[in-house]
């Protein structure tokens, strides 16, 4: 079964644009879970452009499904996650100035750092996931770090699929097969949407979770949030 974790960053983007509390991030998170989503994902960035660090604390008591916090493990992020103890932390090698996440980890160059950080989170009962590309050497490196899971960075698949190149899923299938053989759980995310999700799911064995935000929130503007969540759940069956 593949769980749907809805990334609510863009709800916070809309809320912040007027400085008040509309839309109410916490209410949206409650509703998304009531609509059937199996998780809530946030990505508090150092500039707090959308999710603020306080949001991460405020969400903890109301996320009754799986709570996934994504980010670069800088000191402030480490402190935040260790204080909140979400279900899962997803490590993303983002620079402070990126428009959005644009790369996976080099799990070979940064192996000792990742091992240290992952040990810290695991010692605190937090499931760990590493945002990663499909390079098989990097998948092997991820297994060496002691991470529980990988999150396949799906931007390359999504952009090629949109151009009709269905073969772009092949590296992801191969990466998932290797990851499973190495004992890694398999998550995926970034630019997944209603058009590509079913094909992706059908080609990724043992896909445990997808985290989807930008497209899902945008699609909801036309189709309604409850309807879109259920469309994703249906396509993930
Ligand atoms: C790691 C990942 O793919 C998501 O967290 C994505 O980066 C969302 O971040 P933004 O909503 O800031 O684009
Ligand atoms: N980890 C991916 C995520 O949380 C959402 O990415 P996107 O759907 O906003 O591109």
Q: Best of 41, 88, 213 to mutate for ligand 1, by most ligand atoms within 8 A of CB?
A: 213
ipTM score of the complex? 0.98
Q: Which atom of ligand 1 is closest in space to residue 189's alpha carbon?
A: 3
pLDDT, residue 49, reads 97
Where do the domains of the chain lie, and which CATH numbers do they carry? Answer: 3-236 (3.20.20.70)
CA of 8 to the centre of ligand 2 (A): 9
Provide the pLDDT for residue 9: 98
Instruction: Give the pLDDT score at 220.
Output: 98
Average pLDDT for consecutive 10-residue bins of the chain (237 residues)? 98 97 98 99 98 98 98 98 99 94 97 98 98 98 98 98 98 99 98 98 98 98 98 98
Q: Which residue's alpha carbon is nearest to atom 10 within ligand 1? A: 100
User: Which ligand has its closest atom nearest to the C-alpha of 211?
Assistant: 2
Taking CB atoms within 8 Å and a gap of at least 24, the contacts of 170-177 are 171/134, 172/134, 172/200, 172/203, 172/204, 173/203, 173/204, 173/205, 174/134, 174/136, 175/134, 175/135, 175/136, 175/139, 175/150, 176/152, 176/204, 176/205, 176/206, 176/207, 177/205
pLDDT of 218 reads 98
pTM for the predicted model, two decimal places: 0.98
């Amino acid at each position: 079964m593949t769980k749907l974790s809805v990334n609510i960053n863009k709800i916070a983007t809309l809320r912040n644009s007027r400085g008040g509390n509309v839309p109410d991030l916490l209410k949206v998170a409650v509703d998304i879970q009531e609509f059937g989503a199996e998780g809530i994902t946030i990505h508090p960035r150092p500039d707090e452009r959308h999710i603020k660090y306080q949001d991460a604390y405020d969400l903890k008591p109301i996320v009754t499904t799986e709570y996934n916090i994504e980010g670069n493990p800088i000191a402030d992020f480490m402190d935040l996650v260790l204080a909140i103890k979400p279900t899962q932390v997803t490590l993303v090698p983002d620079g402070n100035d990126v428009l959005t996440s644009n790369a996976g980890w080099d799990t070979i160059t940064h192996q000792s750092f990742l091992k240290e950080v992952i040990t810290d989170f695991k010692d605190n009962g937090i499931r760990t996931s590493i945002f990663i590309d499909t390079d098989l050497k990097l998948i092997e490196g991820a297994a060496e770090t002691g991470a529980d899971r990988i999150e396949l960075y799906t931007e390359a698949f999504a952009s090629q699929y949109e151009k009709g190149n269905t073969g772009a899923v092949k590296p992801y299938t191969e990466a998932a097969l290797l990851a499973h053989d190495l004992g890694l759980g398999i998550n995926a995310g970034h630019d997944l949407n209603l058009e590509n999700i079913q094909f992706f799911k059908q080609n990724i064995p043992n896909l445990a979770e997808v985290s989807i935000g930008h497209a899902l929130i945008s699609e909801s503007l036309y189709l309604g949030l409850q309807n879109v969540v259920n469309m994703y759940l249906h396509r993930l069956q």
